[in-house]
Structure 1
Amino acid sequence: MPNKQRDWKFEFLRIVAMLLIVTTHFFADDNWAVHNDPAQTGTWAGSTHNALSFLGQVGVTLFVLISAYFVATKTTSPIKRLWKLWMQIFLYSAPIFLLFLFLRWTHAIPEHYLAGVTIKSGLISFLPITEIAYWFMSAYFIMTAFSPFINKLMDHLTSAQSWILTVMIIWVTLIWRILNAQSQYYTDCGYLIAIYLIGANIRRYPKRLPRIHWYSALICTVVSFGLCVVGTHVLGRQNSITAILGDPPANLLTAGPGASPILAVISGTVIFIWIAQTRTHNRADTVWSKLIIALAPSTLGIYLIHENFLIKPLLWDIVFHSPEPIGLFTKLFFSATAITVVFLMLMLVSYVYNFLVVNPVTRAVSRIHLSGRTTGRHTGIDDQTTRNSPIE
């Protein structure tokens, strides 16, 4: 969409969402004792550290809700958006593999960072959606493909029916997982579609929503994180509760295999409603808003770089090369500084790469598509497309 049609508050929220995701990956890959020492397992410190992955799922929820909010009423073909999305993912995934192939040939970095350069990983890199190079992007792609059909269905439902459908999907996808750890109904695609339904309802029925203030969103987030910490602590120990729930994993309420991040979805939803209900003034008229709107498209590149299976081990080994900081405040300072530096560097790389490679290639392909579309019209072929960017 043209910049004049973008609301900077949602673009800023997109940036915050990605910052939360990077923060989660930072703590998920640190080499500190609270993370790696078996003696810390089940302690309050270990449970709090593990529960930090809650932040990443809040980021995922916000990212999907933004997308749902802007396409919730569109029933036109998603092919153009899917093609742009696939191309953007491919233009990161494939070149990164080729770069590491070159590094393996030149022996430019230690060999253990190049063990992942195989024929199989090449297939994954060149078919990133099908081979699930990134779980989020594959699920997001499927969600985007389903979105016009979901929207068409919701056009024929009343407000009550639409919310009932959403609650049913959330129940089957997320709640059953908590009540039965062996439930197989949770999938990445179902997870994102459940969030999409929430975002679509927020867009379609704003007057039916309660008024959310900043302090309500803050309280909800703090309480949800606290419950994650307590739940992770309880689930980390063998007790009557875990026996009743069928011995679920300790990360049940946070993220990762076996998880059901319902608390993060609740928190992210409340935050999003607050932002959606907040009125913006002079959007896209200030230096601040223009900067946000210019940088927001780089957020997807941040994810595609730092979560790439070849870059990820190298990146975090560099970040955690120094000895573990001593003391809580030292750790907090190091974490805040490192996360900020990594995030800003990734955003800079993504911004430049988008400017030099992704955007020119996308425009070139769009021109070819437009030319074919014009020819198709002369032959009686109708190819409906939308003007949305792939991350909306």
Structure 2
Amino acid sequence: MENNFYIRKITPESAEKVIQDIGFDESYIRQALSKYKFNLYKIHDLTCPQSSIIKQLALSIGADAAIHREVLTCKVDKTDILIGCTDSQLKTLCEKLKKQPFKLAKLSENLLEILNKTPKQIKIREKTFDWSQKTYIMGILNVTPDSFSDGGKFNTPEKAFEQAKILIQSGADIIDIGGETTKPFSKEVSPDEELKRVLPIIKKIREFDKNIPISIDTRHSLMAKEAIKAGADIINDVSGFDWDSNMITVASELQAPVVIMHSLSSPETMQIDPAYEKNIIDAIYESLSDKVQKAISSGIKPENIIIDPGIGFGKTLEHNIEIIKRINEFKTLGCALLVGVSRKSLINLPAEEKEEANIALNSYLASQGVNIIRVHDTEKHFKAFKVLDRVLY
């Protein structure tokens, strides 16, 4: 049987290469690609007039929008909306929204910002973090007696220092030091005790390596401040500024990069039937969005903000899986994205058997645009990402 035509689907990621191979006009490629690149955008909590106008305008330009079925009857006060359009259509829609009432002109500005909203590179000591070049590895160093995976293994400065050297030499881009376990049902450790555990190892690492970026995993502003003074560079707050109201002020004053993580309440109570009024992705996204804006308003530079959806922090197994499946949605916030699944309970295996599963999950996360992967075993992940990054970047 004669085969007259060869036809295949092309992925959006391949479109630019394919259009170049075809011999398309080079000067027009960027504009042409905006007509091929199709995206979905969800906008939360619109009024009935706002959503009706957006839907009609979307339809008028060949795009589409889904809203609550009772918008026309006004039986609902608010609705979310899902818009499906190309980049070119989104720009046209935004131009039309500029002329509309009900604060839709402001909404058009926010929508346009999304098109070019990517995290800017930052430099920490001598290391430049260019989020468009590779997947970065954050090596975990717990100097605690009771962490869920390695509690007690590195709770002296000597043991911790030896482990830090292993992490650095096996490919870690950042060393994340924690002096307080925040596993489920754990109780708070005083800042004084945390300082005793953490400061000696920060100083020893800094003597050994002047340039390796060090992150301090803490909820306490005093610990964060003293750690930065001792040689740490990044503040990793698992409470997302909720535990210590002074943390955001300290981060702003020090102009230190910050990791803002989503968590439900405190470690002591977060895993007691965790539940949310909204679906889990909406709840986390809105919380992180508000905290990012608060951080910027407090003087923290946008490029210094890293977000973490908080796998295992006030989430069920189903929540965690949903977050992993939809992790790319958090990229819309325009911040570098960090995720830590390493050896957590969603991987239902003994700790020593979890590494292969960790690498599988983390490779998927990296493929979805996660910029920093937080892990215990840096060597295996370094080898995996060295291959994976050649495909991704």
Specify if TM > 0.5: no
User: More helix per residue: 1 or 2?
Assistant: 1
- Pair member with larger Rg: 2
Higher-RCO chain (CA-CA 8 Å, sequence separation at least 6): 1
